[in-house]
Amino acid sequence: MTKRIDAHFVAAGKYHDIDFARLEVLKLLGEHPEIRTTVAMDFSNTERLEQCQFLVTYTCTVLPTPEETVKIKEFLDRGGRWLALHGTNSILKFVEGGVDCPEERDDVMEVLGTQFKAHPPIGPFRVEVVDKTHALTQGLEDFDVIDELYIMKQKAPIKVLMQTRFDGEATGFTEANYSDVVVPILYLRDHGKGGVLYNTLGHCRSHFDVIELLPFWTHPERCSWNYPVYYETLRRGIRWAMSEIA
């Protein structure tokens, strides 16, 4: 008999089409009838998290409090898994000179393993599968996408499964210039009996998602959501969160 699996999904934040991402991820979770998912806009329901096998997040500038971060780390240490998507590790502040990403929440970023620092304008880049033996990547070849290339600062040991490289300017950010940096795209971070799987792809934006800057964003952006290979990485990520993949 198939055993029920409980999941908690936090989908919230700025500058992204959270409604689109929420629906797409819920569709993928719905491919597994044994998964029962609750959805939230923040990390406050730590009691629910204690009942779950895994956590999924698609957020931007929405972080757990220090107290909630402690609960998440306890959840991971005892075997919980966290599938973190796109902007989960972001802190964005608009200051004179551009967008700043202050390193003021190392408690969260150490759990995740990285912190977002900048991205160049949306454009094409090649994703290299650096570990082709892992179950999360086995059978996948290097591929090209158009997306936000997430330059990050490593905060803890991680196992990189996919990566790209960047050399140039992340226009609009206070830390804008980068010289041939390696950029993790998909990686694992161990925590006790559990851990984090981070997938940085998946930017999306619609007409009304940056009203603080523009009242109407003319051209909706779907980026990696346009590519079947991205959905394959998400499906594998969900299987990992279910502990079907080690």
Spatial distance between the Cα atoms of 154 and 168, rounded to a whole number of angstroms = 19
What are the residue ranges spanned by the domains of the chain? 5-241
| pLDDT, tens only, 47-100 | 999 999 999 999 999 999 999 999 999 999 999 999 999 999 999 999 999 999
Taking the model in full, what pTM does it have? 0.98
Is the pLDDT reported for residue 182 higher than 90? yes
CATH class of this structure's domain 5-241: alpha beta
pLDDT for residue 213:
84
In sequence order, what E strands does 3-96 have? 5-13, 35-40, 54-60, 81-85, 93-95
Q: Which amino acid is at 36?
A: R
pLDDT for residue 51:
97
3-state SS assignment for residue 8? strand
Average confidence (pLDDT) over 99-124:
98
Torsion of CA 18, 12, 109, 240, to 10 degrees: -60
